[in-house]
């Protein structure tokens, strides 16, 4: 027996015994835990369901508050907490009225005081904090936000400096739920710090998310940041204002001008300073806000932004035109010949979103331009918007000369294959009219189209459109 072998054997047997014992212990532990869990859940199910029903009844106002509170106090505290926790975890988006009832229940049962104590735990200097207690602090911060506990906002602002990131994030979210005006400044200060720090303590995205939840009237507190010397601070502040405007617009289902919602001094900053900012990111963000301001002042600024040297400023500006009801559509159609395809795409989308007059501009542009890239973009957008069939259905009708001409020119310029899949759904008389018209303007593209269309049962071909030909663009550019 070699020394190596004897050492191995001496070490191996105790190891085998230890590992076997560990294995047995693990199995016993998990089986016992499952059995205990099952037993416990059966025992507690009834109480928890009752508590859940009571709290649910309170929230929906189907049970009298004092009676329910007395009943809840009679139940084991752990079960009441468990039921509340289940409600807080699943129903995070309670309407204000119901959140108010939940808030009252939590206050009366002493939970709010407990959460506040937990959240303030890190402030007790000299005492060692349990490294895993952040879970409880984050939970406390989250719960205070769910019940919209207004008086807790200073505590939540302090929690933005908590040693743990999860607590800071939860505190930011809760401040966004509570929407206390004074806390907005605190969040803005954190955004300013985070923008200038390469390794911020709280993520810029979470701060943006929190700030964007506040009403647009609060945006005036961002003035200092909008005039900041650091371009990234100005950019993020502009972004927050843009998100606030976007959210409010979507909530009120309006896409038009929102100049009344933005403070005049902020509007001035966007129109006079940020739209001409040295940083192109800031100018791009400013475009989306400028488009929602008073047309008389906004239009010249927006027109300048549409001609910006940076392509993404033009992209944002042309997209922003959708929010300006009074913007001349020619501004968007001019961008259809932009050197950057993303701007061309956005311009076409803006025109399609502009309704009938926007489409007319799009067709007119197609008929006038010789730019192949631009023509392709128009065709793509018309097709993507599902407009080919309505256009073909209106072919030859009085008052639809533009559409008729557009269809004919599509074929004449070699885009006829795009029409093939929808031809089967077009009334036969329209198709005959189209065929007649095409015979007057023969060229290679028209001949190809007629061959494809008039071949053996071409109308039945529904897919794929181009099995033999690649759908490749003339625009093989790399952005």
Partner 1 sequence: MHNLIPGVLALVHNVVNAYFVVLAAYFIAGNGVYTLLMFLSIASVWLHKRSRAYEGLHLLRQSPATPPVTVIIPACDEEKVIVDSVRSVLKTDYPGLQVCVVDDGSSDTTLHRLIDAFNLAPTALISRPRLPSRRVRSFFVSAEYPNLLVISKDNGGKPDALNAGLNMCRTPYFCTLDSDCILERDALLRLMWPVIHSPEPIAVSGGIVRVLDGCDVKDGQVVKVDVPHGALQRFQVVEYLRSFLFGRTAWDLLGGTVIVSGAFALFHRETVLEAGGFLSDTVTEDMELVVRLRRWAADQGRILRTNFTSNPVCWAYCPHNHRMLERQRRRWQLGLCQTLWKHRRMIFNSRFGTLGLVSLPFQVMVEALGAAVELLGYVAILLLACCDPSRLWFLVPVVLVGLASAGVLSVSAVVLEEMTHRRYRSTRSLAILLFYALVENLGYRQLTLWYRFQGVVRFLAGRHHWEKVEHLVAERPLASRLERVA
Binder among 203, 255, 360, 452 for partner 1 (CB under 8 A): 203
Hey, which residues between 412 and 471 contact partner 1 (CB under 8 A)? 417-418, 421, 462-467, 470-471
160 forms part of the interface with partner 1 (CB under 8 A): no
Which of these segments, 8-16, 61-69, 110-118, 148-156, binds partner 1 (CB under 8 A)? 8-16
95 forms part of the interface with partner 1 (CB under 8 A): no
Nearer to partner 1, 266 or 346 (CB): 346
CA atoms within 13 A on the CB side of 177: 26
28 forms part of the interface with partner 1 (CB under 8 A): no
Q: How far is the CB of 399 from partner 1 (least distance, A)?
A: 27
Binder among 80, 138, 290, 305 for partner 1 (CB under 8 A): 138
Calculate Rg over the CA atoms of the chain.
Answer: 33
Hey, which residues between 316 and 375 contact partner 1 (CB under 8 A)? 341
CA atoms within 13 A on the CB side of 479: 11
Contact assessment for residue 327 and residue 321, using Cβ atoms and an 8 Å cutoff: yes
**Whose structure tokens read 């605190």?**
186
Q: How far is the CB of 198 from partner 1 (least distance, A)?
A: 7
Contact assessment for residue 261 and residue 307, using Cβ atoms and an 8 Å cutoff: no
199 forms part of the interface with partner 1 (CB under 8 A): yes
Which of 437, 411, 413, 427 lies closest to 459, judged by CA?
427
Nearer to partner 1, 125 or 199 (CB): 199
Residue 397, classed as helix, strand or coil, is coil
Nearer to partner 1, 68 or 162 (CB): 162
Binder among 63, 69, 193, 204 for partner 1 (CB under 8 A): 204
Hey, which residues between 97 and 136 contact partner 1 (CB under 8 A)? 132, 135
Which of these segments, 11-19, 60-68, 150-158, 435-443, binds partner 1 (CB under 8 A)? 11-19
Q: What token pair was written down for 128?
A: 């060692």
Contact assessment for residue 213 and residue 179, using Cβ atoms and an 8 Å cutoff: yes
Hey, which residues between 216 and 255 contact partner 1 (CB under 8 A)? 243, 246-247, 250
Q: How far is the CB of 184 from partner 1 (least distance, A)?
A: 15
Nearer to partner 1, 203 or 360 (CB): 203
**What letter does residue 417 receive in the DSSP assignment?**
G
Binder among 141, 160, 175, 195 for partner 1 (CB under 8 A): 141
Contact assessment for residue 59 and residue 102, using Cβ atoms and an 8 Å cutoff: yes
Task: Tell me the C-alpha distance between 386 and 262, whole Å.
Answer: 36
Q: How far is the CB of 400 from partner 1 (least distance, A)?
A: 23
Q: What token pair was written down for 47?
A: 């109480």
Query: How many other CB atoms sit within 10 Å of the CB of residue 362?
Result: 29
Task: Tell me the C-alpha distance between 473 and 433, whole Å.
Answer: 30
Task: Tell me the C-alpha distance between 50 and 83, whole Å.
Answer: 9
386 forms part of the interface with partner 1 (CB under 8 A): yes
Q: How far is the CB of 145 from partner 1 (least distance, A)?
A: 8
């Amino acid at each position: 027996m070699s020394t190596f072998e004897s050492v191995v054997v001496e070490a191996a047997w105790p190891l085998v015994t230890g590992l076997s014992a560990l294995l047995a212990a693990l199995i016993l532990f998990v089986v016992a835990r499952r059995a205990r869990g099952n037993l416990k859940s059966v025992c507690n199910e009834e109480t928890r369901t009752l508590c859940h029903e009571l709290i649910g009844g309170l929230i929906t106002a189907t049970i009298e508050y004092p009676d329910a509170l007395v009943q809840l106090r009679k139940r084991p505290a752990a079960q009441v907490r468990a039921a509340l926790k289940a409600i807080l975890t699943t129903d995070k988006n309670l309407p204000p009225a119901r959140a108010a009832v939940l808030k009252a229940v939590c206050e009366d049962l002493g939970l709010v005081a407990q959460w506040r104590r937990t959240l303030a735990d890190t402030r007790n200097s000299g005492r060692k904090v349990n490294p895993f207690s952040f879970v409880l602090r984050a939970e406390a911060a989250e719960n205070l936000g769910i019940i919209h506990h207004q008086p807790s906002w200073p505590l939540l602002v302090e929690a933005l400096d908590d040693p743990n990131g999860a607590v800071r994030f939860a505190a930011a979210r809760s401040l966004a739920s509570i929407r206390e005006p004074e806390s907005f400044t605190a969040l803005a200060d954190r955004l300013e710090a985070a923008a200038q720090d390469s390794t911020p303590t709280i993520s810029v995205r979470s701060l943006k998310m929190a700030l964007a939840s506040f009403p647009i009237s609060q945006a005036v507190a961002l003035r200092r940041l909008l005039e900041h010397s650091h371009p990234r601070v100005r950019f993020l502040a502009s972004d927050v204002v843009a998100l606030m405007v976007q959210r409010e617009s979507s909530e009120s289902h309006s896409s038009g001008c929102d100049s009344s919602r933005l403070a005049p001094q902020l509007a001035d900053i966007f129109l006079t300073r940020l739209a001409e900012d040295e940083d192109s990111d800031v100018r791009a963000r400013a475009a989306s806000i400028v488009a929602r301001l008073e047309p008389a002042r906004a239009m010249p600024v927006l027109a300048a932004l549409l001609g910006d040297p940076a392509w993404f400023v033009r992209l944002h500006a042309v997209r922003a035109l959708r929010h300006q009801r009074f913007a001349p559509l020619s501004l968007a159609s001019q961008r259809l010949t932009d050197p950057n395809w993303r701007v061309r795409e956005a311009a076409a989308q803006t025109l399609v979103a502009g309704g009938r007059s926007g489409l007319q501009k799009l067709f007119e542009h197609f008929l006038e331009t010789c730019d192949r890239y631009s023509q392709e973009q128009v065709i793509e957008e018309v097709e993507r918007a599902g407009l080919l069939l309505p256009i073909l259905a209106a072919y030859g009708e009085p008052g639809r000369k533009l559409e008729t001409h557009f269809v004919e020119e599509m074929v004449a310029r070699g885009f006829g294959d795009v029409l093939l899949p929808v031809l089967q759904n077009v009334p036969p008389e329209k198709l005959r009219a189209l065929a007649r018209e095409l015979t007057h303007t023969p060229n290679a593209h028209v001949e190809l189209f007629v061959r494809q269309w008039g071949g053996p049962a071409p109308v039945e071909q529904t897919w794929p459109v181009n099995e033999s030909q690649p759908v490749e663009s003339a625009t093989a550019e790399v952005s």
